[in-house]
Amino acid sequence: RAKQTGKGVACFFDADMDQAVRARRQMENDLRHAVARRQLFLEYQPLVDVRDNRTIGYEALLRWRHPDRGLVGPNVFVPIAEESGSIIQIGEWVLEEACSEAVRWNEPLPVSVNISPVQFLLPNLFDRIAGILQRTGLEPRRLELEITEAVLMHNREDVLAMLVRLRLLGVRIVMDDFGTGHSSLSNLQTFPFDKLKIDCSFTAALDRDPAAQAIIRAIIALGHSLNLPVVTEGVETERQKQIIINEGCLQIQGFLSGRPGLAPSAAGALSPANGTLLRAEA
């Protein structure tokens, strides 16, 4: 399509750029309607206690079934929704959906929900969460909000005040992806967390990089000395599991113990005997 002139390359480049911009704008626009068109859904991944392999909670993970693009993962569309603001409406849907799902479980396990920094900085977040808990009837102690270090970079006083209010309500706060952001150890002193999650990049690096094990060891020791339970994410192999058990971590989340899957309340998904998720493989 580009003309065979000196300007051709530039024209071609512009056309590509134009297309990329248009595709992105289309996605932004589609995301604005995704909730109303019922294209979003949640999968649930178990957190497991390594001592007895029992499921001790689930993390809700957002998926988008796009009519043309098929299944789109949150790493692709959440950043776009954050930039365009639709994450606010989407995040509210996620909270409401996850809480109404959790009240249907036959065991009162906690449900974890990821909260975007954009969503977290809304002044009325507290009222929205309190309202959702009231409407759905979920006990506040069963809701865990996962935030990343990115949240802690803005308005630290406001963030701290919000975390304190949420905890007084009974909601738990989890530090997600610990060690990957602009972390400062003083964050753990300043902000009242209930749990630390070690990012899956450290777990993956266990296979090739001895430093990863040293970092995991240090995070586990740090968490435990602050009386915080520590979860290792992204555990895919028996070997990784053994290493993190040897380092003293008691909770894991990863493909080895369970992939994200069907809502636990879906028929037959949650076996009442041991709470492990049984799911049909895709």
Q: Which positions lie near ligand C2E, rule CB under 6 A? A: 45, 61-62, 73-75, 78, 91, 94, 114, 116, 146, 176-177, 200, 233-236, 253-255, 260
Least distance CB 149 / Mg ion (angstroms): 11
Out of Mg ion, ligand C2E, none, what residue 144 binds, judged by CB under 5 to 8 A for its kind, is: none
Among 92, 97, 146, 247, binds Mg ion (CB under 5 A): 146
Q: Tokens for 58, please give them.
A: 């689930």
CB-based contact 60:44 (threshold 8 Å): yes
* CB nearer ligand C2E, residue 7 or residue 70: 70
Given a contact cutoff of 8 angstroms between Cβ atoms, the answer to whether 118 and 87 are in contact is yes
* Half-sphere exposure (Cβ direction) of 178: Cα atoms closer than 13 Å: 28
Closest CA to 104 of 263, 278, 271, 280: 263
131 binds, among Mg ion, ligand C2E, none (CB under 5 to 8 A by kind): none
Q: Which does 212 bind (CB under 5 to 8 A by kind): Mg ion, ligand C2E, none?
A: none
Contact 144, 111 (CB under 8 A): yes
Q: At closest approach, how far in Å is the CB of 8 from ligand C2E?
A: 39
Is residue 149 involved in binding Mg ion (CB under 5 A)?
Answer: no
- The CB-of-123 to ligand C2E minimum distance in angstroms stands at 18
Q: Which of residues 168-187 bind Mg ion (CB under 5 A)?
A: 176-177
Rounded Cα distance between 222 and 217, Å, is 9
Least CB distance to ligand C2E at residue 14 (A): 32
Cβ 25 to ligand C2E shortest distance, Å: 21
Please report where in the chains the tokens 């009519």 appear, as a residue: 67
Q: Are 194 and 144 in contact (CB under 8 A)?
A: yes
Smallest distance, Mg ion to C-beta of residue 114, A: 4
The distance of closest approach from Cβ of residue 237 to ligand C2E in the complex, given in angstroms and rounded to an integer, is 9
Which residue, 145 or 220, is less far from ligand C2E as judged by CB? 145
Identity of the residue, 8 or 85, whose beta carbon is nearer to ligand C2E in the bound complex:
85
SS3 121: coil
CA distances from 95 to 11, 71, 114, 164, 166 (A): 45, 21, 9, 19, 14
Nearer to ligand C2E, 18 or 198 (CB): 198
- At which residue do the structure tokens 């610990």 appear? 178
Distance CA 202, CA 124 (A): 35
Q: How far apart are CA 14 and CA 11, in angstroms?
A: 5
Q: Which of residues 97-116 bind Mg ion (CB under 5 A)?
A: 114
At residue 50, φ and ψ (nearest 5 deg) are -70, -15
Q: Which is nearer to Mg ion, 105 or 202 (CB)?
A: 202
Q: Residue numbers of the site for Mg ion (CB under 5 A)?
A: 114, 146, 176-177, 233
